[in-house]
Chain A
Amino acid sequence: MADLARSDAPPAAAEKPARPAAPAKSWKDSRLLSPALLIVFLLVWEGLVRVLEVPAIVLPPPSAVLVALWDGFASGLFLYHLGVTLAEILAGFVIGAAIGMVLGVAIGQSAFLERLFYPYVIAFQTIPKVAIAPIIVIWAGYGLSSKIIITAAIAFFPVLANTIVGLRSAPRDQIDMLKACTATHWQVFRMVRLPHALPFIFVGLDVAIVLSVIGAIVGEFVGARSGLGYLILQMNFSFDMAGVFAILIVLSLIGIGLHALMTLLQRRVLFWAETHESGIPAS
Chain B
Amino acid sequence: MSAPVAAGADPLVRIARLDKVYPTRDAGEVHALSAIDLDIARGSFVTIVGPSGCGKSTLLKILAGILRRTSGTSEIAGRDLDGPSRTLGVVFQAPVLLPWRTVLENVLVPAEVQGLDREKSRARAHELLEMVGLSGFGDKYPRELSGGMQQRVGICRALIHEPAFLLMDEPFGALDAMTRESMNLELLRIWQEKRTTVMLVTHSIPEAVFLADRVVVMTPRPGRIAEILDVDLPRPRRLAMFNTPEFGAYVSAIRRHFQTEGALD
Contacts and interface: CB of A to CB of B under 8 A. Distances in A.
B110 A181 contact: yes
A183 B149 CA distance: 25
B98 A8 contact: no
A174 B110 CA distance: 12
Contacts of A271: 100
B64 interface: yes
A1 B64 CA distance: 30
Interface of B: 61, 64-66, 84-86, 88-90, 92, 94, 96, 98-100, 109-110, 112-114, 133-134, 137, 140-141, 143-149, 161, 178-179, 182, 185-186, 189
20 contacts: A1-B133, A1-B186, A3-B182, A4-B182, A8-B148, A10-B149, A11-B144, A11-B146, A12-B144, A173-B92, A174-B96, A176-B66, A177-B90, A177-B109, A180-B90, A183-B84, A191-B112, A192-B98, A272-B99, A273-B99
Given A191-B98, A195-B98, A179 B66 contact: yes
Contacts of A272: 99-100, 141, 143
Given A1-B133, A7-B179, A191-B109, A182 B86 contact: yes
Most central of A10, A181, A195 by chain B CB within 10 Å: A181
B96 A173 contact: yes
Main SS at interface, chain A: helix
Most central of B96, B110, B189 by chain A CB within 10 Å: B96
A36 interface: no
Given A181-B90, A192-B98, 9 more contacts: A8-B147, A10-B145, A173-B92, A177-B96, A178-B109, A179-B84, A181-B84, A181-B114, A272-B99
B66 A8 contact: no
Given A1-B186, A179-B66, A173 B94 contact: yes
B65 A179 contact: yes
Interface size class of A (residues with CB under 8 A): 20 to 34
B182 A182 contact: no
A4 B149 CA distance: 10
A181 B146 CA distance: 24
Contacts of A187: 113
Most central of A12, A177, A183 by chain B CB within 10 Å: A177
Interface string A180-224: 111100010001100100000000000000000000000000000
Contacts of B110: 181-182
